[in-house]
Amino acid sequence: MKNTVLTFHQQKEEGKKITMLTCYDYSMAKLMDEAGINCLLIGDSLGQVMLGYEDTLSVTMEDMIHHTAAVSRGAKNAFVLADMPFMSYQTSSYDAVVNAGRLMKEGRANGVKLEGGATVVEQIKAIVAAQIPVCAHVGLTPQSVNAFGGFKVQGKSIEKAQQILDDARRVEEAGASMVVLEGIPALLADKISKELTIPTIGIGASNGCDGQVLVYQDMLGMFSDFTPKFVRKFADCGSVMKEAFAGYISEVQNGNFPAKEHTYAIDEEVIAQLK
Of 40-48, 156-164, 231-239, 241-249, which part binds ligand KIV (CB under 6 A)?
40-48
User: Applying CB under 5 A, does 182 fall inside the site for Na ion?
Assistant: no
Question: Is residue 57 a contact partner of residue 18, using CB atoms and an 8 Å limit?
Answer: no
Q: Which does 132 bind (CB under 5 to 8 A by kind): ligand KIV, Na ion, none?
A: none
| Per-residue interface string for the shown chain with ligand KIV, residues 49-88, x marking contact by CB under 6 A | ----------------------------------x-----
**Is 104 or 112 the residue whose CB approaches ligand KIV more closely?**
112
- Give CA separation, 87 vs 68, 222, 232, 250, 275, in Å: 18, 29, 31, 47, 64
Q: Counting runs of H as helices and runs of E as strands, what totals does the chain give?
A: 12, 8
Question: At a CB cut-off of 8 Å and minimum separation 6, what does 245 contact?
Answer: none
Q: Is 261 annotated as a binding residue?
A: no
Helix, coil or strand: residue 92: coil
Name the catalytic one among 54, 106, 159, 182. Answer: 182
Positive or negative torsion for Cα 102, 107, 110, 115: negative
| 152 vs 139: CA distance, rounded Å | 10
The verdict on whether 182 is a catalytic residue reads yes
Rg of the chain in Å (alpha carbons):
22
Q: How many CB atoms lie within 10 A of CB 28?
A: 19
Rule CB under 6 A: say whether 189 interacts with ligand KIV.
Answer: no
Q: Is 45 annotated as a binding residue?
A: yes
Residue among 109, 180, 176, 174 nearest 143 (CA): 180
- Judged by CB under 5 A, which stretch of 3-11, 14-22, 80-88, 179-187 contacts Na ion? 80-88
Residue 27 labelled as part of a binding site: no
Select the span of 37-45, 89-97, 237-245, 263-271 touching Na ion (CB under 5 A): 37-45
Binding mask 19-38 for ligand KIV (x = CB under 6 A): ---x----------------
Annotated binding-site residue numbers for Mg(2+)? 44, 83, 115
Residues forming the site for ligand KIV (CB under 6 A): 22, 41, 43-45, 83, 180, 182, 203, 213, 215
Annotated binding-site residue numbers for 3-methyl-2-oxobutanoate? 44-45, 83, 113
